[in-house]
Amino acid sequence: MSAARVFVARLAGCTVFDPAGDRVGKVRDVLVVYRKSDPPRVVGLVVEIPGKRRVFVSIGRVTSIGAGQIITTGLINVRRFEQRGGEVRVIAEILGRTVDFRDGSGPATIEDVAIEQSAPAEWSISQLFVRRPKTSASPFAKGATAFVTWGDVRERPAKGEPQSAEQLIATYSELKPADLANTLLDLPEQRRLEVAGELPDDRLADVLEEMPESDQLEILSSLDDNRAADVLDQMQPDDAADLVGLLPSERGEHLLGLMEPEEADDVRMLLSYEPDTAGGLMTTEPIILSADATVAEGLALIRKQELAPALGAAVCITLPPYEPPTGRFLGLVHFQRMLRYPPHERLGTIIDQTLEPVTANTSAAEVSRILASYNLVSVPVVDDNYRLVGVVTIDDILDFLLPDDWRSHDEDDELPSGQRSAANVRPRNSTGKRVSNGTR
């Protein structure tokens, strides 16, 4: 096996392959067990396979670690990972932990962990990369760092002292919101709340939008009112409205009072519609321009990185004012159509005249039919005065149509066939049940 020593933080997100070179999944954590005197022993990896499922891969199944990739024997049990007693996840539970030097020189925080191979299929923690507390009051100062062995330090008993989530957040900084949401849901409850508490408002807002409602409520309830209102401000109005609608009415109204007035008004408006209508599903933040705006201006707005792809698929053209509810709605200009015209072309001359908007009271079923019939990713929503109040996007409809637990739904049989082969799904017996391969 290559690479005698590997730092765990660098393994996060590494691709796992089978011997044939087919992609199996990505590493999400390393699992260890403590020993009485020796450093903790590595027992396996937590790997995310297609379908957002986390599975256990025994270290004995790993044949190579190196160059940002991991090779396995291909024999992987696809049963959902469940952490057993005595097992500890390095990234989720050790990074950010405070330890004390045995020589009495003070505390330090674990920022990374190195694992090392001692024999075939035998890996253990060999070194810790730690940082001492800073000694200067300067906000730019950082404490000294050091490489130490497991035996050089001792862990502190966690007596109400929250474990720092800074290093865990840094390790997962490149994850997409949906993947980070999945990662948080796999953490122990207290650790999940600690990490959520240290995430920036905008990042936490993105993550909450990807979580089931019960978990959204759990995290929002753990925040103080001012922080909760700040996070709601950063969420898409339709997602924020869904979440506020789940709260007790008194707290929901209190949080709305703490939000920015414009954001709170959008949420209140969305809450006034039935949840199974276009008004209840729409977002109130489409791209809106005047008929005199140019193709160059439209393309500049849809180019923004933070804009959701579905919202960037078309520009809404209205009379002033240009904030919902706008002046009279004139039509949509699709981004592909903009690409066919010169930058100075007025958007008013290339409006799609064939697409009719829906009203706020249009049923979700009818909106679904329109999106499917005309191959659209969004449809505009107008009020009785033909003023634009929002747009319903394809992801809004999918969220409504899918079962409530779709984010955590466990569907072995719906893995893509190619990935099923790569993961070596266990064979079935005559009853149709999967046969355990005894790996865990």
All structural domains of the chain, each given as residue ranges with its CATH number in brackets, are 5-91 (2.30.30.240), 94-155 (2.40.10), 171-275 (1.25.60.10), 288-400 (3.10.580.10)
pLDDT of residue 212: 87
pLDDT of residue 241: 93
pLDDT of residue 101: 92
Give burial (CB, 10 Å; 0-12/13-18/19+) of 347.
buried
Blockwise average pLDDT, block size 10, the chain, 440 residues: 74 88 90 88 91 87 82 82 85 88 91 89 91 79 88 74 65 81 84 87 92 91 94 92 92 94 92 91 93 96 87 94 94 95 96 92 94 92 95 90 63 40 36 39
User: Is residue 191 a contact partner of residue 92, using CB atoms and an 8 Å limit?
Assistant: yes
pLDDT of residue 409: 52
Give burial (CB, 10 Å; 0-12/13-18/19+) of 172.
buried
